[in-house]
């Protein structure tokens, strides 16, 4: 796949407010300017998936930082690895037509060159000597030691230590207000690119795929069970289909203003991470299932 590949995705209506946004009415007596942004507005944007290129490095790194938070992982170097294998994976960006039209639009709320998401895969076996990959492997094993059962710890060690069956780390990050439907063409495209790379004897023949997902938990209270809300809707289905998994709170690693130390009524939403171990051979079926899950089928 060349760096010039482009795939136009469906038009998405995006709420420019996300969990980092806040509003206040300091002066109820002042009439708002007729052109002032009032919140809860929708911006219609055409997205496209294309191969990552060098100018995307900062945007990809920022998405990785949201995933790993304060972990000792060099997200800049990991972003460079993703870009270096631009024959596999896609970034989500604004279509060029929309960018051109917005150059004269004073109300444009999207910066040119913004990376809205990244879907790719990194080989944790073949690239284990790369600093960021070595750091990621250590991070996952350390978290498993603290939060997973002995059985899960052993299974994870065996997968990561095997040189016979390579392990891929699936990266599937995007802005929180990007609709889940966009995940299907991105994952379909990734699967096709993995197959094309395997046909060329490249190191993308994975036995297992690891996926670290984000979710928030409304803790159990007053007889009500805990409720999990996944940041990416498709991760709920993937969580159910994982061969095994473990989870851990990252409340101590987030700033309340960024993570959403949210209150929903009287229930605190606690940020978590969950490592899923998926069967790589099942990826095509999982993508089909995601499409049905998102469409409510």
Q: Which residue from 243, 236, 244 is spatially nearest to 282, judged by alpha carbons?
A: 243
> Which residues is 6 bridged to in the sheet?
50
pLDDT of residue 296: 85
Number of neighbouring beta carbons within 10 Å of residue 270: 19
- pTM of the shown model: 0.82
In whole angstroms, give the CA distance from residue 240 to residue 208: 16
Asked whether the beta carbons of 214 and 220 are under 8 A apart, the reply is no
Which domains occur in the chain, in start order? 47-95+112-295 (3.40.630.30)
pLDDT of residue 223: 81
In order along its 297 residues, the chain shows pLDDT tens digits of 444 455 556 544 444 444 444 444 444 444 554 444 444 555 567 888 999 999 999 999 999 999 999 999 999 999 999 999 989 999 999 887 654 455 544 445 556 689 999 999 999 999 999 999 999 999 999 999 999 999 999 999 999 999 889 999 999 999 988 999 999 999 999 999 999 999 999 999 999 999 999 999 998 888 888 899 999 999 999 999 999 999 999 999 986 544 444 444 556 799 999 999 999 999 999 999 999 999 887
In whole angstroms, give the CA distance from residue 221 to residue 45: 40
pLDDT of residue 21: 40
Number of neighbouring beta carbons within 10 Å of residue 107: 8
- DSSP single-letter state for residue 107: T
């Amino acid at each position: 796949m060349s760096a010039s590949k482009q795939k136009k995705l469906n038009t998405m209506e995006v709420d420019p407010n996300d969990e980092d946004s806040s509003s206040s009415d300091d002066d109820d007596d002042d009439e708002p300017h007729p052109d002032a942004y009032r919140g809860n507005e929708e911006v219609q944007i055409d997205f496209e998936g294309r191969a990552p290129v060098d100018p995307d490095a900062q945007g990809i790194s920022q998405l990785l930082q949201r995933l790993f938070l304060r972990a000792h992982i060099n997200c800049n170097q990991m972003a460079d690895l993703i870009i270096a294998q631009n024959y596999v994976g896609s970034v989500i960006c604004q279509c060029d037509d929309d960018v051109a039209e917005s150059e004269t639009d004073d109300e444009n709320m999207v910066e040119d060159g913004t990376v809205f998401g990244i879907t790719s895969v990194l080989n944790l076996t073949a690239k284990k000597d790369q600093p960021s990959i070595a750091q990621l492997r250590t991070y996952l094993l350390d978290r498993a030691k603290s939060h997973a059962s002995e059985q899960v710890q052993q299974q994870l060690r065996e997968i990561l230590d095997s040189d016979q069956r390579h392990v891929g780390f699936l990266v599937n990050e995007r802005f929180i207000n990007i609709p889940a439907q966009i995940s299907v063409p991105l994952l379909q495209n990734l699967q096709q690119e993995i197959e094309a790379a395997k046909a060329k004897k490249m190191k993308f023949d994975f036995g297992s795929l690891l996926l670290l997902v984000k979710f928030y938990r409304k803790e159990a209270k007053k007889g009500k069970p805990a409720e999990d809300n996944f940041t990416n809707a498709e991760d709920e289905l993937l969580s159910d289909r994982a061969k095994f998994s473990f989870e851990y709170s990252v409340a101590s690693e987030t700033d309340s203003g960024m993570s959403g130390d949210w209150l929903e009524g009287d229930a605190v939403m606690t940020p978590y991470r969950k490592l899923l171990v998926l069967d790589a051979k099942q990826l095509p079926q999982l993508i089909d299932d995601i499409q049905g899950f998102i469409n409510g089928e």
